[in-house]
Chain A
Amino acid sequence: MSDLLSASVLAAFITAIIVQTMPLIMAAIGETIGEQSGVLNLGIEGVMLVGAYSGYVAALASGSAWVGMLGGIAGGVVANLLMLVLNTWLGLNQIVIGLAITIMGEGLTSVLYLQNYSKHPQSVPQDAWPIPGLSDVPVVGPSIFRQSGIFWVLILVMIVVAFMLARTNWGLSIRAAGQKPSSLDAAGGSVMRTRTQAVLLNGAFVGLGGAFLSVITTGTFTAFMTGGLGFVAIVITMLSRGKVHWIVITSLIYGIAVAIKNPLQLVGVTVPADVFQMLPFVVVMLTLIIFARSSVVPPALGTSYTRGAR
């Protein structure tokens, strides 16, 4: 038992939670912006992989994790251009295109990785910002206050997005586009413009999440490394109903569930990882069953919008 509570184990545990949770939070924030505006992007598993790969490549090329994040954002946006043009602009089916993005993202990144890096796998340089004073505190010092500066910037980003979604006209437009697109049009907004922004932001955040996963969480890229994390993000988005603080809370629960495996093993309890990977989906299913009457998703989710149509 003393093993479990030793400072180093606890610190490792907290670090694991942080690095597991952050990509998920970013992806879920991206998906939330898309979903609130009525775009259900089933492609984020693929977008995340593209972001992870492009982030990895950018970080290796530049030697900087920060550039890696930018690379991830760029990759995510590029991957989502397909969704933007075919769905948002041309009105073709979201589900089919989403699945296409997922499948192509998986295939392309796997092939590219095999071709370019699999023979000489390289690790990304880590970037740490020890905060003077606080970083020497036991347990939380080495885990929280020695994180990369990226960690702090992303926390700031979360707060900004939470504020933008909940308190600004822009957030209102996004929600209107998902709740009742025609009302947004009637109010003088543009559904097309709003959803375009939402899809691009969706790509940026999901790509960023992917880049965090490859550059910071694991320090390297492997094929299919997201392992369904994109779908977990979709599910967390459903549970959080557009509230960023709920995204953080539910993602943390997931992160803790995944990270607790190692400390549990130290005390001799082995719970198969599959249980934890299944857990969020079980929770969603239960929530959907219990609250089936009240809708969890925006009413216009998944439908294309044409101005002036019935």
Chain B
Amino acid sequence: MIEETPRWRRVVDALVRSILPVVLALVVAGLIMLAMGSNPIDFYAGVWKYGLTGNNWQDSLRLMAPLMIIALGLIVAFRGQLWNLGYNGTYLLGSVVAAGFGPVLYPVMPGWIVTAILIVGAILIGAIWSILPAVLKARFGTNEIITSLVMSFIAIGVVNLLIKGPMHDPNPKVTAPQTATIPKADLLPVLDSTRVHIGVVIAIVLALVAQFVLSRTSFGVRLDVFGSSPKAAQHVGISRSWMIVLLFCMSGALIALAGSIDVLGNVTYQRANWNPAYGDAVMPFVFLARLSPLAAIPLVAFYSVFANGGINAARSVGLNSDFLLVVVGLILVFMTITEFVGAKRRLGQSYLPPGMRQTVLGLVQRRGTARRAKA
């Protein structure tokens, strides 16, 4: 496209545009903290301290496993220009499969078989749950933003009912609505002498595989063609309906997988009304990574440290951990603003494939085209 720009320049521009929104968000969050009478320097020092130093980096890595897999699930859907906003419900479905069936199955079967069953089960549920919005979109063009969101709320209700009903801890002493705990010996194996479980490795391997599939295989090309223009895809023989269903199922499967991994490696049981809403937190970083799995790794790692350290850091300066939500929201806002300014000044590449960019930035692009057409 822009042949005359040297490669290093493009890389620098791209880096600036991925990092600038985060920096701006952190600065504005700091100002908000000042306004609330908390010391932002203490907060950010706390993030460093509680997120990385000592053994804290291990907890950050444990948090990264589900976040990274969810990011992949979002990337797959967003690349195809499908807004799968059902991530919270799908995630909980995946986790409840592990937390509900795990404690029942582990005592009666060899551990690794159970783990395999639980993970496959979560993947299947995630895929099946995502079929309905996909089919409605493929067949009738029903807005998937609404259907996936609605399905998410239904899933949350179903999960709560399951935990309060059939999946409730059979131990009569436990009155709180929660499942039984998975025995410690059956949790995902940890890397030696740390608390980091193998889910982190799975997540990173999956990211690398996703990167390879998306950038080096014919499927990746077809996905990008479909994402930039479903009509063009139809012309080169890519079935639109099939693509929508496939991408939605893959997205749902990955997100549910993240839920099961989180329970099997980290959480060990599930309470009713537990909803970490990881998808909301990861979404900005998925866009900042320009929907590239490889680029998402460092960004998600950054957020994992920030979120893990931020919980204690926020407490230490007299805020509560929900302050992290403000930072995530600010990143989203600054991301769209940077994208807007960048598209006007043509700084480097956009975050998004052409099709997605059109949705996100319809206005700016059309203005640009109009100006070029005039010239």
Q: Which residues of A contact B (CB under 8 A)?
A: 40, 42, 82, 86, 90-93, 95-97, 99-104, 106-108, 110-112, 114-115, 223, 228, 231, 234-235, 238, 272, 274-275, 277-278, 281-282, 284-285, 288-289, 292-293, 296-297, 301-304, 306, 308-310
Contact = CB atoms under 8 A, between A and B. Distances in A.
Interface stretch (B93-101, B157-165, B194-202, B217-225): B157-165
A124 to B, nearest CB: 23
B1 interface: no
A33 to B, nearest CB: 18
Given A92-B336, A306-B367, A281 B157 contact: yes
A91 B359 CA distance: 10
A115 B312 CA distance: 16
A238 B333 contact: no
Contacts of A110: 320, 322, 325
A281 B157 CA distance: 10
Chain B at the A interface: SS class: helix
A304 B340 CA distance: 14
A284 B363 CA distance: 32
Given A285-B147, A293-B140, A297-B146, A103 B157 contact: no
Contacts of A103: 280, 325-326, 328-329, 332
B288 to A, nearest CB: 12
B339 interface: yes
Given A92-B360, A92-B361, A97-B332, A111 B139 contact: no
Interface in B64-96: 83, 85
17 contacts: A86-B337, A91-B364, A100-B329, A100-B330, A103-B329, A107-B328, A110-B322, A114-B319, A115-B36, A228-B153, A234-B149, A274-B157, A281-B154, A285-B147, A288-B147, A302-B143, A302-B145
Contacts of A296: 142
A114 B136 contact: no
A269 B257 CA distance: 37
Chain A at the B interface: SS class: helix
Contacts of A115: 36-37, 318-319
B360 A272 contact: no
Nearest to A273: B160
Given A93-B360, A111-B322, A289-B136, A309 B280 contact: no
Given A104-B329, A110-B325, 18 more contacts: A93-B336, A102-B329, A104-B333, A107-B325, A223-B322, A235-B146, A274-B161, A275-B157, A275-B161, A278-B156, A281-B150, A282-B154, A284-B146, A285-B150, A288-B142, A288-B147, A292-B142, A310-B366
Contacts of B366: 306, 309-310
B48 interface: no
A91 B361 contact: yes
Interface in B319-374: 319-320, 322-330, 332-333, 335-337, 339-340, 359-364, 366-367, 370
Contact of A306 (B324, B330, B362): B362
In order of increasing CB-CB distance, the 10 nearest A-B pairs are A91-B363, A107-B325, A278-B157, A104-B329, A100-B332, A110-B322, A107-B326, A292-B140, A103-B329, A93-B360
B254 interface: no
A255 to B, nearest CB: 17
Contact of A40 (B32, B145, B161, B364): B145
A285 B164 contact: no
B267 interface: no
Contacts of A304: 362-363
A308 to B, nearest CB: 7
Contacts of B146: 234-235, 238, 284, 288, 297
A96 B284 CA distance: 9
Contacts of A95: 83, 85, 145
B22 interface: no
Contacts of B363: 90-92, 304, 306, 309
**Residue among B132, B319, B339 with the highest chain A CB neighbour number at 10 A:** B319
Contacts of B322: 106-107, 110-111, 114, 223
Given A111-B319, A303-B362, A309 B336 contact: no
B57 interface: no
B250 interface: no
B83 A108 contact: no
B253 interface: no
Nearest to B287: A96
A272 B370 contact: no
A99 B332 contact: yes
A234 B164 CA distance: 27
A167 B69 CA distance: 51
A93 B359 contact: yes
Contacts of A272: 160-161, 164-165
A101 B333 CA distance: 9
